[in-house]
Amino acid sequence: MRRLILPALAALTLAGCATTPTLYQPAAGPRSVGYAEQRIEPGRYRVTFQGGPGAPAAYVADLALRRAAELTLAEGYDWFRVSGPPILEGRPDRGPRIGLGVGSASFGRHSALGLSTGTSFSLGGGDSVTATLEVFMGKGARPPGADVYDARGVRDTLGRRI
């Protein structure tokens, strides 16, 4: 029996390493890692980026900003304004869990002495974060404001870093 448990645990551990990384790509589905956008009206979009398990919230928000910049340029605009702070939502990792344990017991004057060991580990990579931005796009000179971004500048800066 022991010969079967160790190889099974090793295989499960390796499978846990195959979690979906957070790559800058279109999302393949509603809960897939990547970006998606929804047109609300001309020049106004909702941009969403779903991070992979364990991706930091700030990194996922930067990926959403990068997508907003690229979308702005693709639509023929120069700058975009973000309506409010990014909406960050977390989704707990529901990856497989394994727990093993052996214990001992004591009943008044009678007790059983035994080896007490236990182990537990997760094959998941942590919680997933989704960042959602609502953006308004414009042409020409960028208006003042901390919530207004130059699309080319964001694309160039975040495109090199991410």
- CATH number of the CATH domain containing 52: 3.30.1360
* pLDDT tops 60 at residue 96: no
In a domain, 106, yes or no: no
Most trustworthy range by pLDDT among 16-20, 103-107, 125-129: 125-129
Name the average pLDDT for the chain: 78
In which band, very low, low, confident or very high, does the pLDDT at 108 lie, cut at 50, 70 and 90? low
pTM, rounded to two decimals: 0.69
Q: Is residue 135 part of a domain?
A: yes
pLDDT of residue 19: 55
Residue 117 counted as domain residue: no
Q: What percent of the chain has pLDDT above 90?
A: 53
d(CA 134, CA 127): 23
CA distance 16 to 8: 12
Decide if pLDDT at 123 tops 70. Answer: no
Decide which of 35 and 125 is more confident: 35
DSSP string, the chain: -HHHHHHHHHHHHHHHTTPPP--SSB-SSTTSSEEEEEEEETTEEEEEEEPPTT--HHHHHHHHHHHHHHHHHHTT-SEEEE-SSPEEEEE-----EEEEEE--EEETTEEE----EEEEEE-S---EEEEEEEEEEE-SSPPSSTTEEEHHHHHHHHHHH-
CA 15 to chain centre: 19
pLDDT(115) > 80? no
- Mean pLDDT computed over 29-36: 91
141, pLDDT greater than 80: yes
Report pLDDT for 13.
45
Over residues 93-100, mean pLDDT: 46
Residue 64 forms part of a structural domain: yes
Residue 113 lies in a domain: no
Check if the beta carbon of residue 52 is closer than 8 Å to that of residue 125: yes
- Whether residue 150 is contained in a domain is answered as yes
Number of domains in the chain: 1
Structural domain containing residue 134: 2-95+125-161
Characterize the bridge pairing of strands 97-102 and 117-122. antiparallel
Distance from C-alpha of 151 to C-alpha of 35, rounded to nearest angstrom: 17
Residue 22 pLDDT grade (very low, low, confident, very high; cuts 50, 70, 90): confident
